[in-house]
Amino acid sequence: MITTLRLPFRLLTIARVLRRHDALSAAEALGVYPTVVALLRRLGGRSREGRPGQKLADALAELGPSFIKFGQFLATRADLVGEQMALDLSNLQDRLPPFDFKDAKATIESELGRPLDQLFTQFDKQPISAASIAQVHFALTREEDPDTPPREVAVKVLRPGIEAAFERDMQLFYYLAYLVERTQPRLRRFKPVEVVRLFETTVQTEMDLRMEAAAASELGEHFQDDPDYHVPEVDWERTARRVVTQTRLSGIRLDDREALLAAGHDLREILRKSSAIFFNQVFRDGFFHGDQHPGNMFVLPDGSIGAVDFGVMGRLDHRTRTFLADMLLATLARDYERLAAVQVEAGYLPAGQPMDLYAQALRAVCEPIFGRPLARISFARLLGQLFRLTESFNLSVQPQLVLLQKNMLMAEGVSRRLDPDLNIWVLAEPLITEWMRQYRGPQARAREVSLSLLQGLERLPATLDHMESIIRQASEGGLRLHPETIAAFAEVRRQAATTRRAYLLALVALLIALGAVFL
């Protein structure tokens, strides 16, 4: 835990920065320590124009790398800070002065075990970008075969001492999270300590550049046959924990409308490709770019889309994807009772909550949306409004779903800058229809039932063996059980055997039914 001596000075520094940027208004908006915040505001500090989230972003940028990353992390948690503040924090500029070339060179040579000039024929001393955790240099590789031409690459290098700096600030974050949990009952449902622990895991993953390389490699494999999406290839020979090397991508920022038009690109076609890429990442693969924004997405000369920076990735298991699909179907059908039931099945609505009242709240959120023209409907904002019901009904929201909503919001923003009359999700309708047919149609549900039966059959032998072992131990005196209990075990075993026969009969009947459907 952070040292008692250093804590007051660090907290005083933070309070001064927050007050200077008038960022205490963000704490007021969140309702965190209202008495303390009111006292600090009375002590001085000029009022500034802007929304609370904008002021908080400015303050976090001044406080340094750990706070910048924490602000970006909060930008993915609209359920904690609200949609508008999350949107403001997503614009937090992760730009710091570059560190010296000699430190980058020392890190590369130490991590890769070879002199820089043996790895690269050319290495730009001035980085192309510098952020809180790392900076990126362009370079040309030196190939072992002299007849092989050098390859253009981008080399990402961690900042010197960044791990130790984050470790110090993480102690402070944990201290504050424990304090909030103990003294702010209203905020306990947000699980501050768990939030900080998730943030720590996220940052530790980002600071191991091998993990970023692995994410890029996995994403690249998913799209290896897709000519519309390019992920830089990882140069594993020049990659280690603090260095990652990838092929260099050059293109036009995805949101630069004028440049795209000047280059002769079809904006509608670009948006079609973008929507397909997003849909395939989320629903087809369940593995999506968690920090997708115009700064790390480019339109390449051939009209395809390239992406970089894979430090933050999101995953959705098949069960979550099917629940999302069912929620979408229920929402589009305006069947709010079904929408509430789906969320209960998914475990989002705690037991004991009135489902009919929750369905009514869903109707209040969704119905105003459907009265708007299709081009003006924001499905990301709809998802965000559903998250805002969490406080009233004490819902638990998966962080990955909030990360998904944040990326949907970003995608809609880019889409409207390129073509304000187009809804990006309409372009993905053929993919959505096919996915629904494949995974949520009658045939898919029949497959799910058959799989459930097979899994039940697979578990039965182990269950019966376990019961037999318990009964044997009991009969041999290894366990002291009442005779009636032993008789009950025997009865359970008899019933299990009957159940197994019933499973087999049901499976045979199902196979016959499936044969009638598919053949």
Residue numbers annotated as active site: 291
Beta bridge partners of 153: 139, 247
Radius of gyration of the chain (CA): 28
The residue among 252, 251, 255 whose CA lies nearest residue 414 is 255
> Could you tell me the CA-to-CA distances from 1 to 141, 177, 297 in Å, in that order?
45, 12, 40
C-beta of residue 305 within 8 angstroms of C-beta of residue 270: yes
Which three-class secondary structure string do you get for 350-401? Answer: CCCCCHHHHHHHHHHHHHHHHCCCHHHCCHHHHHHHHHCCHHHHCCCCCHHH
For the chain, what is the total number of helices (H) and then of strands (E)?
A: 24, 11
Dist. CA 507–CA 499, nearest whole Å: 12
Tell me the H-state helices in 33-96: 34-42, 52-63, 65-74, 78-81, 83-90
Beta bridge partners of 77: none
Beta bridge partners of 135: 130, 157
C-beta of residue 445 within 8 angstroms of C-beta of residue 517: no
Name the token pair of 408.
């949907």
Dist. CA 243–CA 241, nearest whole Å: 6
Q: Is 476 exposed, middle or buried (0-12, 13-18, 19+ CB in 10 A)?
A: exposed
User: Which residues neighbour 90 within 8 Å (Cβ) at sequence distance 6 or greater?
Assistant: 72, 75, 293, 406, 409, 410
- DSSP states of 114-156: S-HHHHEEEE-SS-SEE-SSEEEEEEEE--SSTTSPP-EEEEE
Beta bridge partners of 234: 246
